[in-house]
Amino acid sequence: MTAKLETAMEQIEIATGVLVVGGGMTGVATALEVAQQGYPVTLIEAGDQVGPAAESRPRTGLPDVQRLNDMAARLAKTDSVEVLTAARLDAAAGVAGDFKVWLSTAEDVLERRVGAIVVAAEFDTTPLFDAYGLAPGESVIGQSEVERRLAEDPRAFADKTVAFVAGFAQNGNPLVMQRIFHSVKALQAGGAAGVYVYVGDLKVADDGLERQYRLGRDGGAIYFKLRQAPAIAVSEAGAVIGFHDPVVRQQIEVAADCLVVEEALGVGPECADLAAILRIDIGPQGFLQSDNIYRFPVATNREGIFVAGASREVRSLPWALADARNAALRVAEVLGDGTRLVPRDKAVVDIGKCTFCLTCYRCCPHGAIYWQAENKPVISPVACQGCGICASECPMDAIQIGGFSDEQIRSQIGAKLADVNGDPAIVAFCCQNSALVAGEMAAAFRMNLPAGLRTIQVPCAGKIDLQYILDAFVSGADGVLVMACHPGNCKSERGNTYAGWRVEDAQRLIAGAGLEPERLRFATLAANMGTDFQAIVIDMEQKIRDLGKSRLR
Amino acid sequence: MNSQTKKVMVIGGGIAGLTAAWELARAGVEVALVEKAAFLGGHGIQYACKATDECQQCGACGVEKMLANVIDEPRIRVYLAAEAAEVTGDGPFTVTLRASGSQPGAVDAACGQGYDKDPGACAAARGYSVHNAVFYKADGGFDPDRVAAPETVTADAVVVATGFTPFNPDEKPTYRYRELANVVTGLDLERTKRIYGEVRRPSDGAVPRKMAFIQCVGSRDERLGHLWCSQACCPYALRSALAARHKHPDLDITVFYMDIQNTTNSFDAFYEKCRQSLRFVRTIPVDMYETEDGGIRTRFMAEEDGLPVEEIFDLVVLSVGIMPGADNPVLAGTLGIELGTEGFFARPDLLNTSATARGGLFVAGTAGGPMTISGAMASAGQSAAAVLHYLGRA
């Protein structure tokens, strides 16, 4: 659908080594999958063991631990995998296909050249005693502690009454519930006298959890679903948990020998450092992935750097292993056979014009720009996504994007407006990831569109220069639309933000030239919404009809 | 790895099948992509964008994107309105395809007078997407250059990505889904928004002033024996509700629910926004009555005092859940694989949830159990990786 221009290609060499950060099961699985594809792997783990022992991941409800140990053993025996324990990533430089990483171990600092990096961090668990106003003690314990005691002695709570509280100190997630379901099952098998669970929203949106919830109740567990935390009174004998039931209109109290407090499952503490070293975006809750559909499932803002398992979300082990396989797939796409054909003109810096101001380096959302000797900025054709934000931000106009050079875009403006006659002439600069596709849909579905609408394709709204907007008005446009992706949906994270700023600047400039600022509009929409495209352009046409012809036309 | 000469069949052209096909093709595998309907994209291609003033990560536009990837990929051979009739062999498999009976809509007849004449018919005839256009001839029928006729295909591996069947609300007759015009399903609502660009109620095409979402229709239902959470309905209902209120700020929305399930890592902030602009009632209404002007009167227990309350809504949306594909039992028989307790394709190995019990046969997406669009993409990527692993070993 989008314009593809024939362009000279060049073959470049790609480093085929891969760094995997994290030695829990996500990291082990990633390393095994990558090695199986024939690429050498260096796996680093901060602790001194690799495999299930390296995980803080709760060990409940998981497949036979022997199989996990077997995987770790298989990794240890794989010649093409170098495992470094008590090791960490100190620094990284370069781009996809050509990263240099510095790893410190107990004895040494090692340097490795790799083509891709996978971060496979593990969870951090935090008991939420404070949020409930409780202190851990004889009768108040955290979720990890009940799991530990049950693993040590399946009958540790025989003849005891145990209560759980969850979902009041945090929204929680299915893994929090899964841990409780498994403990409930273990307590029932171990002869507990009674099991009570006080819960806010029961998070059961993962495989098999609703059934486990039912099995627990079949076994006699009683669940109270409440909107607020119950009142908890702790004594040496245990805890009394009470709440008012509006339906039966009475206070319901339970005396438990032991109260189990929920734990938060979050991203590991090392992740913030890793994000800074690898220059990858941090998303909500500190995960190493922004909440952006273009990152599904394991991508980051940087080509060649992937995130798997707990590095990006809190989910059960099967999903973390799915991530490991996805990461291996992506790694293979980047590394290929160790060579890669790339377009020569994907993004090119004219060194004669460059004043080394670092603007491009700072604004590139993909970390694709680096510096060679003699202060020469280079845009990696492997890492570059072609958004053009750098080209539009460069104060010296020293960067051109293949297929979307300033000349190529600016020459279209006048040409496209030439055949607009009596109708309002509207130029719509359309991001090819959203508005362009929505516009094609509107046209193909024969939706009613303005006769004087002319669309111009850009690789990202971040490539829409202030100059293009002014050119459009000078060339006789009565109105100009800058159409971008919704905030949070930009493939290049901030292209739409830059576009919005430039529209504000341009509105001031055209007002200075005596044009109504309403002749220029910034709009966001999605690729699958032809109707939204139609609504925006029809509304614009009406506005222009109300305003009359541009005085520059 | 010598996968260059390998061929894989992907059955199902929804988001999971598209993703699996594209990932395999990019790795150099020849793919036969078989879709029962007359268009690619499955349910997801019919969903509307749920952005407010920002993206809410519903993934609907990602389906559009993946479809665009697939139609540009020369290694994928597309079979539309086709299904697997017979499978023999044990890797490689010989799969005999037959026509499913689906028909492409007559595009010219539906859209020739312009979209506004009959938006629903035009969108359906176009397969809901500009990217499906390449499959149809202008005068109706499939373009034989882009859509292969059903034939016998030899495949080294098969990926089952046949998706789900939405819960049929007729199974819960007190909702009177077919009888009352303004009781619709979440999928009906999505299609309406996709076709008209906004929420409308069917009886008169007006934008509702007061609407309700009822969660867990068909999911988490012990009476029906449906012991699973569909995982996608809380995200779709809440995002849809916020998006509708963004377009129509006076719209009054109530969400009836049992337990609100999470969306993405942004859930805390997202849910806070929902709580500020939507009313949440933790109970599921059962009986629906129609008022004179097409309103839906329903009764539920107030949470505060447990007393019954009666309210009238202009539009009631049933958040129907993800049920096992209606064809699953037949297809499982054809493929010689098992279904699990719930009726989805069994995935016996927790360490590789894309594997079936039979070598060379893999599962992707909601064919194996409920999941969201992003989940289906991760699942399909895993299946593609597992297929490549299998082919490399074979």
ipTM of the complex: 0.96
Nearest Cα residue to B44 out of B380, B372, B378:
B372
Q: CB distance B350–A329 less than 8 Å?
A: no
Residues B225-231, mean pLDDT to the nearest whole number = 97
The CA-atom distances, in angstroms, between A142 and each of A125, A150, A275 are 10, 13, 30
Per-chain mean pLDDT for chain B: 95
B120 and B27 within one domain: yes
Which residues does chain B have within 8 Å of residue A36's beta carbon, measured at their own beta carbons? 389, 392
Nearest Cα residue to A78 out of A54, A42, A106, A45:
A42
**CA A372 to centroid of chain Cα atoms:** 30
Nearest Cα residue to A489 out of A217, A295, A255, A253:
A295
Q: Report the DSSP beta bridge partners of residue A162.
A: A195, A258
B182 and B99 within one domain: no
B245 and B109 within one domain: no
Minimal-distance CA residue of chain B relative to A171: B268
* Residue ranges of B 117-136 with Cβ closer than 8 A to chain A: 122-123, 126, 129-131, 133
CATH number of the domain where residue B90 is located? 3.50.50.60
Residue type present at position A319: W
Asked if A399 and A321 touch (Cβ cutoff 8 Å), the reply is: no
Q: Say if B2 falls within a structural domain.
A: no
Minimal-distance CA residue of chain B relative to A523: B53
Residue that finishes a domain, picked among B274, B300, B322: B322
Q: Report the DSSP beta bridge partners of residue A166.
A: A199
Give the integer Cα–Cα distance in Å for A241 and A232: 5
Q: Select from B130, B259, B382 the Cβ nearest to the Cβ of A201.
A: B259
Q: Select from A203, A227, A445 the Cβ nearest to the Cβ of B115.
A: A445
Q: What is the per-residue pLDDT for B140? A: 79
Q: Which residues contact A456 (CB under 8 A, 6 or more apart)?
A: A409, A412, A413, A416, A427, A428, A429, A430, A468
B230 and B299 within one domain: yes
> Which residue, among A25, A528, A531, A534, would best test binding to B if mutated, counting the most B CBs under 10 Å from its CB?
A528
Q: CB distance B61–A444 less than 8 Å?
A: no
| Runs of H (alpha helix) within A65-204 | 65-76, 143-152, 174-189
Nearest Cα residue to A503 out of A464, A448, A551, A552:
A464
Give the integer Cα–Cα distance in Å for B244 and B233: 16
Number of domains comprising chain B:
2
**pLDDT digits (tens), chain A, 553 positions:** 344 445 689 999 999 999 999 999 999 999 999 999 999 999 999 999 999 888 876 666 666 789 999 999 999 999 999 999 999 999 999 999 999 999 999 999 999 999 999 999 988 899 999 999 999 999 999 999 999 999 899 999 999 999 999 999 999 999 999 999 999 999 999 999 999 999 999 999 999 999 999 999 999 999 999 999 999 999 988 999 999 987 778 999 999 999 999 999 999 889 999 999 999 999 999 999 999 999 999 999 999 999 999 999 999 999 999 999 999 999 999 999 999 999 999 999 999 999 989 999 999 999 999 988 777 899 999 999 999 999 999 999 999 999 999 999 999 999 999 999 889 999 999 999 999 999 999 999 999 999 999 999 999 999 999 999 999 999 999 999 999 999 999 999 999 999 999 999 999 999 999 999 999 999 999 999 999 999 999 999 999 999 999 998 8
Residue that finishes a domain, picked among B283, B305, B322: B322
Q: Say if B1 falls within a structural domain.
A: no
Residues B126-145, mean pLDDT to the nearest whole number = 90
* H helix or E strand, kind and range, residue B58: none
Q: CB distance A293–B197 less than 8 Å?
A: no
B217 and B153 within one domain: no
Q: Report the DSSP beta bridge partners of residue A142.
A: A261
- The whole-angstrom distance between B169's CA and the closest CA on chain A is 21
User: In CATH, which superfamily holds the domain spanning A9-122+268-339?
Assistant: FAD/NAD(P)-binding domain (3.50.50.60)
B178 and B127 within one domain: no
- The whole-angstrom distance between B211's CA and the closest CA on chain A is 22
Which residues does chain A have within 8 Å of residue B125's beta carbon, measured at their own beta carbons? none
Buried b (16+ CB within 10 A) or exposed e, A81-104: bbbbbebbbeebebbbbbbebebb
Q: pLDDT class for B4, splitting at 50, 70, 90?
A: low
Residue pairs between chains A and B whose CB atoms are closer than 8 Å? 227
- The whole-angstrom distance between B136's CA and the closest CA on chain A is 12
* Residue ranges of B 200-239 with Cβ closer than 8 A to chain A: 220, 222, 227-229, 231, 234
Give the integer Cα–Cα distance in Å for A354 and A369: 14
- The whole-angstrom distance between A29's CA and the closest CA on chain B is 10
B153 and B17 within one domain: yes
Minimal-distance CA residue of chain B relative to A209: B228
* Residue ranges of B 134-193 with Cβ closer than 8 A to chain A: none
Residue that finishes a domain, picked among B288, B306, B322: B322
Q: What is the per-residue pLDDT for A246? A: 76
Q: CB distance A445–B63 less than 8 Å?
A: no
Q: Select from B261, B374, B382 the Cβ nearest to the Cβ of A203.
A: B261
Q: CB distance B351–A227 less than 8 Å?
A: no
| Tokens 């004669």, residue located | A352
The CA-based dihedral angle spanning residues A158, A161, A167, A173, taken in that order and rounded to the nearest 10 degrees? 20
B205 and B103 within one domain: no
Give the integer Cα–Cα distance in Å for A271 and A280: 10
B279 and B187 within one domain: yes
Nearest Cα residue to B225 out of B324, B301, B318, B317:
B324
Report the DSSP pairing between strands B183-185 and B308-313: unpaired
B256 and B174 within one domain: yes
Concatenated DSSP letters of A102-139: EEE-SS-EEEEEESEEEE---EEEEE-TGGGT----SS
Give the integer Cα–Cα distance in Å for B126 and A272: 47
B291 and B329 within one domain: no
Q: Select from A67, A297, A322 the Cβ nearest to the Cβ of B353.
A: A322
* Sign of torsion over alpha carbons B127, B130, B133, B134: negative
Please classify residue A226 by burial: count the beta carbons closer than 10 Å to its beta carbon, then call 0-12 exposed, 13-18 middle and 19+ buried.
Answer: middle
Cis before A297 (ω within 30): yes
Q: CB distance A225–B259 less than 8 Å?
A: yes
Give the integer Cα–Cα distance in Å for A17 and A82: 11
Give the integer Cα–Cα distance in Å for B204 and B292: 13
Domain enclosing residue B260, as ranges: 167-322
Q: CB distance B229–A204 less than 8 Å?
A: yes
Q: Rounded to 5, what percent of chain B is helix, strand, coil? A: 30, 25, 45
Residue type present at position A52: P
Tens-digit pLDDT profile for residues B82-133: 999 999 998 899 999 999 999 887 777 888 888 989 999 999 888 999 999 8
Minimal-distance CA residue of chain A relative to B351: A318
Q: What is the per-residue pLDDT for B138? A: 79
Q: Select from B68, B264, B375 the Cβ nearest to the Cβ of A291.
A: B264
**B260 reaches A (C-beta below 8 A):** yes
Residues spanned by CATH 3.40.50 within chain A? Answer: 406-547
Q: pLDDT class for B296, splitting at 50, 70, 90?
A: very high
Kindly indicate whether the domain formed by A348-401 is annotated with CATH number 3.30.70.20: yes
Which residues does chain A have within 8 Å of residue B47's beta carbon, measured at their own beta carbons? 528
> Which residue, among B259, B275, B282, B344, would best test binding to A if mutated, counting the most A CBs under 10 Å from its CB?
B259
Concatenated DSSP letters of B311-328: EEESEEEEEE-EEE-TTH
**B380 reaches A (C-beta below 8 A):** no
Q: Say if B344 falls within a structural domain.
A: yes
Report the DSSP pairing between strands A109-114 and A116-119: unpaired
If one counts every other C-beta atom within 10 angstroms of the C-beta of residue A9, the result is 14
Q: Domain A125-265 belongs to what architecture?
A: 3-Layer(bba) Sandwich (3.50)
Q: Select from B195, B234, B265 the Cβ nearest to the Cβ of A284.
A: B265
Q: Select from A37, A448, A525 the Cβ nearest to the Cβ of B1.
A: A37
- The whole-angstrom distance between A538's CA and the closest CA on chain B is 13
Question: What is the dotted CATH code of the domain comprising A406-547?
Answer: 3.40.50
Q: Which residues contact B144 (CB under 8 A, 6 or more apart)?
A: none
Minimal-distance CA residue of chain A relative to B260: A201
* Residue ranges of B 51-70 with Cβ closer than 8 A to chain A: 51, 53-57, 59-65, 68
Minimal-distance CA residue of chain A relative to B306: A247
> Which pair of structure tokens corresponds to residue A85?
């324990």
Q: What is the per-residue pLDDT for A60? A: 62
Q: CB distance B27–A246 less than 8 Å?
A: no
**CA A305 to centroid of chain Cα atoms:** 12
**CA B280 to centroid of chain Cα atoms:** 25
* Residue ranges of B 271-290 with Cβ closer than 8 A to chain A: 271, 282
- How many helical (H) and strand (E) elements, i.e. helices and strands, does chain A have? 14, 28
Q: pLDDT class for B372, splitting at 50, 70, 90?
A: very high
Q: Select from A174, A326, A434 the Cβ nearest to the Cβ of B378.
A: A326
- The whole-angstrom distance between B173's CA and the closest CA on chain A is 24
B282 and B190 within one domain: yes
Asked if B312 and B297 touch (Cβ cutoff 8 Å), the reply is: yes
> Which residue, among B61, B196, B239, would best test binding to A if mutated, counting the most A CBs under 10 Å from its CB?
B61
**B306 reaches A (C-beta below 8 A):** yes
- The whole-angstrom distance between B228's CA and the closest CA on chain A is 5
* H helix or E strand, kind and range, residue B214: strand B210-217
Give the integer Cα–Cα distance in Å for B252 and B295: 14
